[in-house]
Structure 1
Amino acid sequence: MTTHNTYSQEQDSLVLIKTEYGNIKIKLYGDTPGHRDNFLKLVREGFYKDQIFHRVIKNFMIQGGDPKSLASADSTASDNNMADYTIPAEIVFPKHFNKRGALAAARTGNEVNPEKASSASQFYIVVGKSYSEKEINKIETERIERRTQSLYNDLQSENKAKIKEYYSSGDRDGLAAFRQGLYAQAVETAKTDSTLVFTPEQRLAYTKEGGAMHLDNEYTVFGEVIEGIDAVMKIQSVKTDKKDRPETDIKMDIVVISQ
């Protein structure tokens, strides 16, 4: 099954998630139109009526939209895409990231889903944790170092013949200089990768409100909570079983406010 974009322009839309813990007003981003339009379609069809938040992890996120989770408390369907279609990834990073209150699409793992296609119906809302500036600086440095090493390894593989020549000739100094040049090239390339460096907006959000930065650039973030974050915080604190399912079902209904 494929989805059809109802709106050609990049306009935001508003929906309201109704729960017993309060209402959560969500803005759906216009620059992720495939996810926006699919979500609005499901809402208009009444898909989310009496659906539940089947996976809740304190200081991480709340997840819902899996119809199989209604069948049994022992369901493990939270890891499965229950619809007969997926949504192509629309990862707009670093503009949209996993700050507290971010709405994102769940998906299956990279090993079976390297394209990072989204579940047709399952979504999560981020709670996450707050980070200090020191922690963010450390993470940023580690990101750049990992990327640099990966690039350097790739460059060495691409230049195997040249490296072999240096070994064969016994020119150790030449080999060292050549490798230094490759590493310098890797460093410069890594520095230009904007996905590795925290933007001012990310720094502010992750230090002041919190989030789940390890999910960044991996899942499609297609909206955010603009009112009702207190309801999200209440839901993330409920008692859950060892499979992270709330002991008492938390039902939802979702309505469109503007589209």
Structure 2
Amino acid sequence: MKYSSLYVTAFLLCLASLYSCKQKEVQPKEKVVLKKVSIKKIEKPLKKEVVKKVTRDTDTINKNNVVAFLTAYGKQHPETVVLFETRFGNIKIRLYRDTPLHRANFIFLTKKGYFSTTCFHRVVPNFIIQGGNSDHPLTRKLRTKYNYVIPPEIKSHRKHKYGALAAAREWDNNPKKLSSPYEFYMIQDKRGSHHLDGEHTIFGEIIEGISTMEKIAALETDSKEWPIRDVYIKARVLR
């Protein structure tokens, strides 16, 4: 009877273990969504040259001409390398030519100074760091004024590998998987985040500054995954 009781106990423990494993398998995968931003911090004033740069010539693109505009802009501006400067170091990004609309959009917003009004506003360790938004009034003003989305350029050979750069998007009521022109994310999971393959447009990758991404990913955040102290971006096109 003693041994029988031990066998029953062991059997029940095995069942409990299998049930626990099964529960872990069905946990929903993390998504990359657009974050709704509200004023919650003391705003850091932008340099006068940044404000002047981003407030001129903002009527050139809209939701009705986005494809034609970005196609033409991409031909006139063939650059593929962008530098992000942060207080933790630099991140150098290479943009892919086989995602021409997303490449042109990133170059356009960088040259207009949009990204220099933003910060890394979402950090999820072992998943992503997300940027392209802030609680500064100028950022919100530009997002409202431009008001467009980008058709997807999802490629089967582009994967959410470590260091990949991709466009955030709305998941609800967005069957065409249209991309946000403003918000992007970088994959910080060294195994990749392949549950997102085919769901978002991957349009570049980090070529220098992986260690900077890792420093940002280690920051303390609030309950909304926003770093306690803002990580502002200064962006410029290199070549």
Measured against aligned partners, the alpha-carbon deviations of 1:131-172 in whole angstroms (never above 9, x if no partner) come to: xxxxxxxxxxxxxxxxxxxxxxxxxxxxxxxxxxxxxxxxxx
Q: Which residue identity lines up with residue 41 of structure 1 in the other structure?
A: F
CA distance in 1, matches of 2:89, 2:230: 15
* TM superposition outliers: structure 1 runs of 4+ over 3 Å: none
Shift of residue 63, structure 1, vs aligned partner:
0.6
Q: Secondary structure at the match of 1:40?
A: helix
Q: Which residue of 2 aligns with 1:59?
A: 126
| SS of residue paired to 2:83 | strand
Question: What amino acid is the match of 2:238?
Answer: I
Is 1:4–2:66 an aligned residue pair?
no
Q: Of residues 104, 129, 136 in structure 2, which corresponds to 1:70?
A: 136
Question: One-letter code of the match for 2:188?
Answer: V
Q: Does 1:242 align with 2:228?
A: no
Unaligned runs of 5+ in 2: 1-61
Contact residue 26 and residue 226 of structure 1 kept, 8 A: yes
* Residue in 2 that maps onto 1:233: 214
For this pair of structures, how many residues does the alignment match? 167
Matched, 1:35 2:102: yes
Matched residues in 1 for 2:217 and 2:111: separation? 26
Q: Name the amino acid aligned to 1:242.
A: S
Question: TM-score under structure 1 normalisation?
Answer: 0.61
Tell me the alpha carbon deviations over residues 78-100 of structure 1, each in whole angstroms, 9 at most, x when there is no partner: xxx8651000000012x111111
Question: CA–CA distance in 2 between the matches of 1:108 and 1:251?
Answer: 24
Give the residue type in structure 1 aligned to 2:186: I
Residue 41 to residue 102, structure 1, CA distance change in 2 (3 Å): same
Structure-to-structure mapping, 1:1-259, within 5 angstroms: 1=62, 2=66, 3-5=69-71, 6-8=73-75, 13-67=80-134, 69-70=135-136, 83-93=146-156, 95-109=157-171, 111-128=172-189, 209-258=190-239
Residue 52 of structure 1 contacts residue 70 of structure 1 at CA under 8 Å; is this kept in 2?
no
For CA contacts below 8 A with separation 6 or more, give which structure has more relative contact order. Answer: 1
Q: Is the 8 A contact 1:29 1:36 kept in 2?
A: yes
Unaligned runs of 5+ in 1: 72-76, 129-208
Query: Whole-Å Cα distance in 2 between the matches of residues 89 and 21 of structure 1?
Result: 32
Measured in 2, the distance between the counterparts of 1:45 and 1:8 equals 17
2: CA distance between counterparts of 1:12 and 1:39?
Answer: 10
CA deviation string 1:48-90 (max 9, x = no partner): 11411111111110111124x336xxxxx9xxx8651000000
Alpha-carbon offset, residue 215 of structure 1: 0.8
Q: Distance in 1 between matches of 2:180 and 2:160?
A: 17
**TM-score, normalization by structure 2:** 0.66
